[in-house]
């Protein structure tokens, strides 16, 4: 499912009008009518309420004028508050504004502080608001008069229905441009925008519905958006049937290099998650001092001691042992709980350069290469990295706040630059690929803000790679199922308080949902 940027949506509109021949006014009519349908389905009580349409002078305002006309023709009480003088409205928006006059739909012009004060009393009596101030093209901070208007609407604490996107929300990043409408619901035209799904934009958007405005599918395909939303049918299609005669040798052997003193749980959870997702065999390679403890923690997983330093971390001399253990393995997962000593970092970098099987790098494995990311360009097989924002910040040497302000940009640029698959964790986890495509994951919840969740994800993704799934498919499936497990637990146990080990036990039930009839 496409997720589009403001520029991609603009190109689609332009191509539909100029190349396909659907006039802009028809698109505006379609948009307004579809938005009206969604509005009435969302607010069943609207026929008994006063409705205010707050509209800018551009095309977003024009969509609002169409809605006002459609609602007025159905006998609903509508008042338009135009944030400009009438003569400043141009094009298709002006044509639709003129149609309100013969229907006796009031249009109040608010174009400065004085006129705003004049109409505030009437505005306070509206029961529901339709927000048609700014469209998807907004990129600058909302300032001055418009900022006051948006703040006023929010302070009224009345339900707001946004046309295409909440006014003040950046379409591509999901960040508010200063002041932003907090919508109860939003009708997105043609496609959801990135800003609708990414946080905090999802909170400002409210309930999201897609309105078909007549953009031909071939036009969208030709523009070729590079952002997508993961969907259950897509995940189901990835799963390959397992033959009845399959045995553990057919389903792959994974090597996990993990653990250090005080972090045995990370190693154990990674290994167990890989087995729960279906890997046939898992060998857990850990510092020798941890070997006795982990042998009793992981019953189904094989273990192997590795040379360690006096402090108990992995020694660089473990390289030869690890390369020997990789014989016959389908994937290597490295990083959970291994620490960031100088020797360990040297070992991790050398493994990346010389490993010939798909590689999943997480946690301390990422921190070990934060100052030497160029080593990723020397990897001999597919690499999947699973950073949280703090780890991503260290990888790109930018503040966490900057990463979070444009997560898609940073995940995409890193993946393209280093030819890796980047799973940027967090609310709406992103999966970025070397060709620039970015997928947004809709599953997961705040109950996952608990230790060990990242180790489980590493195990799931590496377990899928071990079974022969391509890196792209494994990343998509792993992230989606990881979040779906947490969603199922939240429904059953409560919004938080479930553990990473609970997620591990939920994995087979989610597999059943995607592989059953």
For range 80-96, the mean pLDDT: 97
- Looking up residue 24, the CATH number of its domain turns out to be 3.40.50.10260
- Tens of pLDDT, residue by residue over 305-338, are 999 999 999 999 999 999 999 999 999 999 999 9
Q: Is residue 269 domain-shared with residue 197, that is, in the same domain? A: no
Residue 344: C-alpha distances to residues 13, 258, 423 (Å): 53, 11, 23
Of 516 and 368, more confident: 368
Q: pLDDT > 70: what percent of the chain?
A: 100
pLDDT tens profile 217-234? 999 999 999 999 999 999
For residues 436 and 321, state if they share a domain: yes
Per-residue model confidence as pLDDT tens digits over 29-42:
999 999 999 999 99
Res. 369 pLDDT band, cuts 50 70 90: very high
- How does residue 47 score in pLDDT terms, banded at 50, 70 and 90? confident
> Model confidence at 296, in pLDDT bands (50, 70, 90)?
confident
Domain edge (last residue) among 225, 255, 273: 225
H helix intervals, 301-452? 318-325, 342-354, 364-368, 389-396, 400-405, 407-418
| Amino acid 46: pLDDT | 86
pLDDT of residue 295: 86
Is the same domain home to 147 and 275?
no
Note whether 171 and 313 are same-domain residues.
no
Above 90 in pLDDT, residue 516? no
pLDDT at 403: 98
| Residues 339 and 197 placed together within one structural domain of the fold | no
Same domain, 77 and 145: yes
DSSP state of 321: H
Average pLDDT in the chain: 96
Confidence of residue 400 (pLDDT cuts 50, 70, 90): very high
Tell whether 272 and 363 lie within a shared domain. yes
Reported as a single tens digit per residue, the pLDDT across 419-448 is 999 999 999 999 999 999 999 999 999 999
The gap from C-alpha 41 to its chain's centroid, in whole angstroms, comes to 27
Tally of CA atoms within 13 A in the half-sphere of 45 that contains its CB? 5
Pairing of strands 2-4, 227-229: antiparallel
Domain count for the chain, please give it: 2
Domain that holds residue 449: 240-372+424-515
Q: Which of 190, 225, 260 is the endpoint of a domain?
A: 225
The CATH number of the domain where 273 resides is what?
Answer: 3.40.1190.20
Residue 470 has pLDDT above 90, yes or no: yes
The average pLDDT across 241-248 equals 93
> Reduced to 3 DSSP states, what percent helix, strand and coil does the chain have, rounded to the nearest 5?
50, 15, 35
> How far apart, in Å, do the first and last CA atoms of the chain sit?
23
Distance between CA atoms of residues 335 and 317, nearest Å? 17
pTM of the model: 0.96
Residue 15 domain flag: yes
In this structure, the answer to whether residues 221 and 246 fall within a common structural domain is no
For residue 117 the two structure tokens come to 């004060």
The answer to whether residue 102 is domain-embedded is yes
């Amino acid at each position: 499912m496409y997720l589009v940027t403001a520029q991609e949506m603009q190109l689609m509109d332009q191509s539909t009008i100029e190349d396909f021949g659907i006039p802009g006014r028809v698109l505006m009519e379609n948009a307004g009518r579809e938005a009206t349908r969604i509005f009435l389905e969302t607010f069943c009580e609207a026929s008994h309420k006063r409705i205010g349409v707050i509209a800018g002078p551009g095309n977003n305002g024009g969509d609002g004028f169409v809605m006002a006309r459609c609602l007025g023709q159905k006998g609903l009480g509508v008042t338009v508050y135009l944030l400009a003088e009438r003569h400043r409205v141009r094009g298709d928006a002006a044509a639709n504004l003129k149609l309100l006059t013969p229907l006796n739909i009031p249009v109040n012009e608010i174009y400065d502080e004085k006129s705003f004060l004049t109409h505030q009393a009437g505005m306070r009596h509206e029961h529901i608001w339709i927000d048609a101030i700014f469209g998807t093209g907004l990129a600058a901070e909302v300032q001055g008069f418009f900022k006051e208007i948006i703040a006023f609407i929010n302070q009224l604490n009345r339900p707001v229905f946004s046309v295409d996107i909440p006014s003040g929300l950046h379409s591509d990043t999901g960040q508010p441009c200063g002041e932003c409408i907090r919508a109860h619901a939003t009708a997105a035209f043609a496609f959801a925008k990135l800003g609708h799904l990414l946080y905090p934009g999802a909170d400002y958007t409210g309930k999201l519905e897609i309105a078909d405005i007549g953009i031909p599918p071939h036009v969208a395909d030709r523009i070729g958006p590079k952002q997508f939303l993961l969907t259950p049918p897509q995940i189901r299609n990835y799963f390959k049937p397992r033959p009845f005669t399959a045995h553990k040798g057919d389903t792959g052997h994974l090597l996990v290099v993990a653990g250090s003193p005080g972090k045995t749980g990370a190693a154990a959870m990674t290994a167990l998650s890989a087995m729960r997702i279906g890997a046939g065999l898992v060998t857990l390679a850990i510092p020798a001092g941890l070997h006795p403890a982990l042998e009793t923690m992981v019953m189904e997983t094989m273990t192997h001691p590795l040379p360690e330093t006096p402090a108990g971390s992995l020694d660089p001399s473990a390289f030869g042992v690890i390369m020997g253990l990789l014989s016959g393995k389908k994937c290597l997962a490295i990083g959970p709980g291994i620490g960031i000593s100088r020797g360990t970092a040297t070992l991790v970098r050398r493994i990346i350069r010389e490993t010939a099987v798909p590689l999943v790098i997480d946690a301390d494995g990422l921190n070990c290469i934060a100052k030497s990311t160029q080593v990723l360009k020397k990897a001999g097989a597919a690499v999947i990295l699973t950073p949280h924002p703090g780890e991503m910040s260290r990888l790109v040497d930018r503040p966490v706040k900057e990463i979070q302000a444009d997560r898609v940009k940073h995940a995409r640029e890193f993946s393209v630059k280093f030819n890796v698959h980047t799973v940027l964790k967090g609310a709406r986890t992103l999966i970025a690929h070397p060709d620039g495509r970015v997928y947004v994951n809709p599953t997961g919840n705040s109950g996952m803000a608990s230790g060990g969740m990242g180790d489980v994800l590493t195990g799931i993704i590496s377990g899928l790679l071990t079974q022969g799934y391509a890196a792209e498919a494994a990343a998509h499936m792993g992230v989606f199922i990881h979040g779906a497990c947490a969603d199922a637990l939240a429904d059953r146990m409560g919004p938080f308080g479930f553990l990473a080990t609970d997620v591990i036990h939920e994995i087979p039930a989610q597999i059943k949902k995607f592989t059953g009839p």
